[in-house]
Amino acid sequence: MNKIQSFSLALGLAASLSASAQQFPGGASSVPPECKGLPTHAQLQMALSAARAQTNGGFNLDMWGVVVNRDGVVCAVAFTGVNRGSQWPGSRNIAAQKANTANAFSLPQLALSTANLYTATQPGGSLFGLQASNPVDPFVSYRGDPAEYGQVDDPMIGGHVGGVDVFGGGLGLYNSQGVLVGGLGVSGDSSCADHNISWRTRHNLSLDYVPAGVSGDAAHPDNIVYDITNAPGLQIGVSASGWGHPVCSAAAETIAGELPPIE
């Protein structure tokens, strides 16, 4: 698979995501079909940085963000810090896996965030074993020059990373026509803060026209659900809905309930 050499765009967040231009090997300047209608590196970085700058109930850490298309192809990778070492290095791949998971297990009529999958994938859950169903491709994850990680020519771009992650931070991307166009993954803080930052990033990108979800809240269909009750002496709790995620902090839980409603 050829590595994309450059990936550039000069549109603001409010501009149409489809009227963009990118440069690829051989000097051809056009949007590759697999990434049309999705955020570019510049747009992702801007939206992610704005979301990270808000209070999110975590450790106030810098973040990685990854966008994949409907086929799971990586289209953009960005970070919010001064350089690639300002975020947890391992979170680059985690963000990619979250993007892949949210896309892979969302449908045009039903969105599932990675946070929604936590309880069902625990031992005894209805989706136990799901995390082993789509292995990460280490060649795609670790190929190329690390100096390019998070840049417009990040070596993951154009590849299928794969992977399943069931912590908060991954969301399906739905455009203004309600079409599911891919997934967004965010990582670098507590999983609950990751979810809040991902939600705000998606909202900043105007890709939150979500049709339905399992949260029980029509204004936040694929929001993180905090309904796990721990039995005395046991670490594994029971989710009333079956879609619950552990609470990382009281602040993160409160913020999740106040996130912007979907479009």
pLDDT tens profile 98-142: 999 999 999 999 999 999 999 999 998 999 999 999 999 999 999
Please determine, for residue 79, whether its predicted confidence score (pLDDT) is greater than 90.
yes
Distance CA 147, CA 11 (A): 25
Confidence check: pLDDT of 253 > 50: yes
Question: What pLDDT is recorded for position 4?
Answer: 36
Predicted local confidence at residue 23, as pLDDT: 32
Section 202-223 average pLDDT:
98
Please give the distance of CA 114 from its chain centroid, rounded to a whole number. Answer: 8
Neighbours of 145 (CB within 10 A): 11
pLDDT above 70 (res 15): no
Average pLDDT over residues 62-75: 97
- How much is the pLDDT for 76? 96
By mean pLDDT, which of 19-23, 62-66, 103-107, 197-201 is the weakest?
19-23
| 3 state SS of 57 | coil
Amino acid at 208: D
Contact 183, 154 (CB under 8 A): no
Check whether 25 has a pLDDT greater than 70: no
Question: Mean pLDDT score of the chain, rounded to an integer?
Answer: 88
Give the pLDDT band (50/70/90) at residue 237: confident
Q: Which residue type is seen at 130?
A: L
pLDDT at 5: 35
pLDDT of residue 14: 35
What CATH number labels 34-256? 3.30.450.150
pLDDT score of 231: 73
Instruction: List alpha helices for the chain, DSSP H.
Output: 41-52, 91-104, 138-142, 191-204, 250-256
CB 157 within 8 A of CB 77: yes
* CA 249 and chain centroid, separation: 21
81 vs 2 pLDDT, higher one: 81
Q: Is 194 exposed, middle or buried (0-12, 13-18, 19+ CB in 10 A)?
A: buried
The Cα 183–Cα 249 span in angstroms is 26
β-pair partners for 170: 185
In the chain, what percentage of residues exceed pLDDT 70?
87
Q: List, for residues 161-184, the tens digit of each pLDDT value.
A: 999 999 999 999 999 999 999 999
Q: Is the pLDDT of residue 261 over 70?
A: yes
Whole-number Å distance between alpha carbons of 17 and 28: 19
Return d(Cα 190, Cα 251) in angstroms, integer: 12
For the question of whether the overall pTM of this predicted structure is more than 0.75, the answer is yes
Q: Find the DSSP H helices in 126-239.
A: 138-142, 191-204
> Distance between CA atoms of 146 and 156, rounded to whole angstroms?
11
Look at residue 35 and give its three-state secondary structure: helix
Other CB atoms within 10 Å distance of the CB of residue 251: 15
